[in-house]
Amino acid sequence: MSQQQENVKIAGCSFSVHPMSDDFKEKIKGALEKIDTSKVWMNTDEVTTTVRGDIEHVFDVTRAVFLRVAETGVHTALNATFSVGCPGDSEGDQYTGHKEKPENGLWDLDQYTGAKFSLYPMGGGNYMDVIYKGIERMKESGIEVSEAHYATKLSGDTNTMFKGLEEVFSDTEKSGSSHTVMTVAMSANSPSQERGNK
């Protein structure tokens, strides 16, 4: 299939999930076993896990890993860098063009989370406008939004937040940003959270 026919840029995410408990290995392994990763390319090394594929599948797998670890109840942190259009990106490890919808579900899982995200539309242009528009859309999606240094702070339902973040990321890419990066830090079940799970 030619590049033109395909017409889909490979997206990806490099993430790490941190269950803060002595049995962190079992918690991560247990989460991964329950997740459908058949629609992404996936690789784990000592620092992060990388998933590559269509934007919707990349977000679906990352969301499911975080939810599966967080539902064990331990304090869980996720750090994720989503990327599409990186000029240094290899052509390998592609896995795009799936017609199927993501399969991981878990949409009925109530999980409160605090988060910070930053959007980096690379390659020049009036990128601050894209960022401010993205922040407005997060507010409209029902997530509490506040300012922080170097990031926008979010709090609310994990699934709603992931949907909003995926929308921001997709819209930035569609708006003409040739290389879009979004970083997300999430923290669930934190002892310092003011609100617990609903």
Residues interacting with Ca ion, by CB under 5 A?
A: 20-21
Quote the tokens at residue 174: 């569609």
Among 39, 63, 68, 116, binds a second copy (CB under 8 A): 116
* AA identity, residue 93: D
The reply on whether position 176 binds a second copy by CB under 8 A is: no
Question: Using CA atoms, how far apart are residues 43 and 51, in angstroms rounded to an integer?
Answer: 7
User: Residue 181 — φ and ψ, nearest 5°?
Assistant: -125, 135
Which residue number is nearest to Ca ion in terms of Cβ?
20
Distance in angstroms (rounded) separating the CA atoms of residues 138 and 23: 34
Find tokens 């942190």 and name the residue.
77
Q: Pick the closest to residue 115 from 193, 15, 13 (CA basis).
A: 193
Q: Could you tell me which stretch among 31-39, 63-71, 81-89, 158-166 binds a second copy (CB under 8 A)?
A: 81-89
| Site membership for a second copy, residue 125 (CB under 8 A) | yes
Size of the site for a second copy (CB under 8 A): 55
> What is the number of other CB atoms lying within 10 angstroms of the CB of residue 40?
25
Phi, psi of 2 (to 5 degrees): -75, 160
Interface residue with a second copy among 73, 97, 105, 123 (CB under 8 A) is: 123
Q: Does 50 bind a second copy (CB under 8 A)?
A: yes
CA count, 13 A, side-chain hemisphere, 157: 12
Taking CB under 8 A as the criterion, the residue among 2, 22, 91, 108 binding a second copy is 22
Least distance (Å) between residue 105 CB and a second copy? 26
User: How far is 171 from 134, CA to CA, in rounded Å?
Assistant: 8
> What residues does 43 pair with on adjacent strands?
50
127 interface partner picked from a second copy, Ca ion, none, CB below 5 to 8 A per type: a second copy
Q: Near a second copy by CB under 8 A, which window of 59-67, 85-93, 99-107, 161-169? A: 85-93
- Residues binding a second copy (CB under 8 A): 12-14, 16, 18-22, 24-25, 45-48, 50, 52, 75, 77, 79, 81, 83, 86-90, 93, 114-116, 118, 120, 122-125, 127-128, 131, 148-151, 153, 181, 183, 185-187, 190-194
